[in-house]
Amino acid sequence: MLQNEQEYIRILTDRLSGTLAVEDLEDLLSDYREHFRIGKANGRSEAELFCSLGSPDEAAREIRATHLVKKAEHTCSCGNIFHAIAATLGLGLFNLVFVLAPFLVLVVLLLVVFLVGVAFTVFGPAAFVYAILQILGSPSFSIWLSPVAGLFFSVGMTAIGILLVIGDFYLARFFYHMGIRYLKWNIHMITGTGCAQ
């Protein structure tokens, strides 16, 4: 691989052009160009400067992850948090354990709470109707030992179901914001290898 300014700038541009806004990318590139310019004025070679800057791929991955996490912070959406997590995963293999695993656990947890909530919400009214039918004496098979207790129980069940679904929404929002803070910290702390030489 060539180790010069042009190649460094090319890799950064290539990795970031779809992600960063054009003016942000230009601003970033100008920092690196200035670095090469002053370095060369101080008598260092492009290869030397390239090497001490470290891998441009790595710098690009970090910039990308930071940008996508910031975007997910400003605009909460499933797509944004998904992109942010995917970008953070690219920072290092061990983020499979430190990012992907907790993320999957939380998603499953939220899903389970949601499904239980929906099941209660749907099953409650059904059980209520059944209890009434049972009081009226129509169904031959009884699910409630006491149909009156069944009435109260099914109302309670519906209420809990609705609360679970609403609570799940707040829980998701809480995890979202905690997740953003964690991802920021993660990107801040994590680094890969240095110079490829």
Partner 1 sequence: MNIQFKKGVLEICVLSVLAHKDCYGYELVNEISKQIDISEGTIYPLLRRLKDEGYVTTYLQESVEGPPRKYYLLTESGRKEEHELKEEWMRFTTAVNALLVGKNDAAE
The per-residue DSSP string of 89-149 comes to HTT-TTHIIIIIHHHHHHHHHHHHHHHHHHHHHHHHHHHHHHHHHHHHT--SS-S-SSHHH
99: contact with partner 1 by CB under 8 A = no
In this complex, which beta carbon is closest to partner 1, that of residue 40 or of residue 132? Answer: 40
The per-residue DSSP string of 60-97 comes to HHHHHHHHHHHHHHHS--HHHHHHHHHHHHTT-TTHII
In this complex, which beta carbon is closest to partner 1, that of residue 51 or of residue 135? Answer: 51
> Shortest gap between Cβ of 7 and partner 1 (angstroms)?
13
In this complex, which beta carbon is closest to partner 1, that of residue 8 or of residue 120? Answer: 8
Q: Of 10, 37, 173, 177, which lies in the binding site for partner 1, with binding defined by CB under 8 A?
A: 37
Q: Of 5, 56, 88, 180, which lies in the binding site for partner 1, with binding defined by CB under 8 A?
A: 56
Q: Of 6, 17, 45, 52, which lies in the binding site for partner 1, with binding defined by CB under 8 A?
A: 52
188: contact with partner 1 by CB under 8 A = yes
54: contact with partner 1 by CB under 8 A = yes
71: contact with partner 1 by CB under 8 A = no
- Token pair of 182 as six digits: 């964690």
Q: Exposed (0-12), middle (13-18) or buried (19+): which is 65, by Cβ within 10 Å? A: buried
